[in-house]
Amino acid sequence: PFPVDLDYNKIDVIIPTDLQIDQNLNIMYRQMVSGAKKTQLFMGQPYRAGDQPDPGAGSVENVPHGTMHDWTGDPAQPNSEDMGNFYSAARDPIFFAHHGNIDRLWHVWRGLRPGNADFADADWLDTAFLFYDEEARPVRVRVR
pLDDT at 127 > cutoff 80 = yes
Mean pLDDT of 72-89: 83
Q: Which residues of 85-115 are buried (b: 16+ CB within 10 A; e: fewer)?
A: beebbeebeebeebeeeeeebbeebeeeeee
Residue length of the chain: 144
| Domain count across the chain | 1
Per the domain annotation, does 5 fall within a domain?
A: no
Which residues span the domain enclosing 46? 17-142
Nearest to 39 by CA among 136, 92, 112: 112
Domain membership of residue 79 (yes or no) is: yes
* 131-140: average pLDDT: 94
Q: pLDDT by residue (tens digit) across 21-76?
A: 999 999 999 999 998 988 888 888 888 888 888 888 889 988 999 999 988 878 78
pLDDT for 91 equals: 87
pLDDT in tens, 86-109: 888 888 889 999 999 999 999 999
Please report whether residue 115 resides in a domain.
Answer: yes
Note if the pTM is more than 0.75.
yes
Closest CA to 62 of 88, 27, 37, 33: 27
